[in-house]
Chain A
Amino acid sequence: MSSERKPPARLRQGSNGYLLTLQLTSDPNLLCAVRGAVERLTEAFGFSGAECRAVTRAVDEALTNIIRHAYSGAPDRPIELAFRSVVPPAGKASGEGLEITMSDHGPAINPEKMCGRELSDIKPGGLGLHFIRQSMDVVEFQRANDTNYLRLVKYVRAPK
């Protein structure tokens, strides 16, 4: 993938307000398919190569967390993803944002536990949330109607 930023394609949101929606089961073997879709979408959206990798990584890690923690490894539970373009907040010097909303029907998550761990402690595990927060501009957790929602947003950097 070129490191130069491609001019963004003219992406049109559907009548449901989304660029792309995915419904999948919590099967880890599907993670590669989602990564492929996110890679292509982020390229078309106009992110740089590094930003495309960052968003792909964040989505992949979030899905992994859902599979492992919300669904305890069960491979047949539903996960939904929705992608849409959002405008940046007033005063924020950036281009459009790509918003990704992920939902699962697992037990309620405890936001206080969503902190990631101290990186100076070298040990396996506990890195997923760190990668997500490093990669995205917005990371928000919500719960409504017995559903966990994770909202991720990355803004296209304004050209210098």
Chain B
Amino acid sequence: MEISSRELQQATIFDVTGDIDLANSPAVRKALLREVKEKRTPRVVMNLSKVRYIDSSGVASLVEGLKASRDAGTRFILIGLSTSAREVLQLSRLLRIFEVYDNEEQALAAA
């Protein structure tokens, strides 16, 4: 799994490639929480369009990111959910609590 970040229109976009599972979800969690808690970026976008698989530990990292974002007043957005990722969020009844868009353009245009 690879994770990189870039800045665009007052947002930090994390581009994640590969599977998010027990082996690497800690790295996702660490990057997310650092961005939200230390850098206080107003908008954080998780680009999951190249994430084929995410397990419960990956979902937990996203939930932690969301909670930290709410505490910090940051918007936390998910984009590009694969079928598998969407299924996992639906199974855990968490899809409704995240702000989700199909792509980066929609996410950045959202008010």
Residues of A whose CB lies within 8 Å of any CB of B are: 28-29, 31-32, 35, 50, 53, 56-57, 60-61, 64, 67-68, 119-120, 122-125, 127-128, 130-131, 134
A/B pair count, beta carbons within 8 Å: 63
Size of the chain B interface, CB-CB below 8 angstroms: 23
Cβ–Cβ contact B87 & A60, under 8 A: no
Binds A, one of B5-13, B38-46, B56-64, B99-107: B56-64
Mask: chain B, 73-101; 1 = CB below 8 Å from A; 0 = not:
00000000001100110011110010000
Cβ–Cβ contact B91 & A53, under 8 A: no
Tell me whether A64 and B92 are in contact in the complex, defined as CB-CB below 8 angstroms, given that A28-B21, A35-B19 are known contacts: no
Given the complex of chains A and B, what is the CA–CA distance between A29 and B59 in angstroms? 18
- Which B residue sits closest to A31, measured CB to CB? B21
Given the complex of chains A and B, what is the CA–CA distance between A120 and B53 in angstroms? 24
Cβ–Cβ contact A131 & B63, under 8 A: no
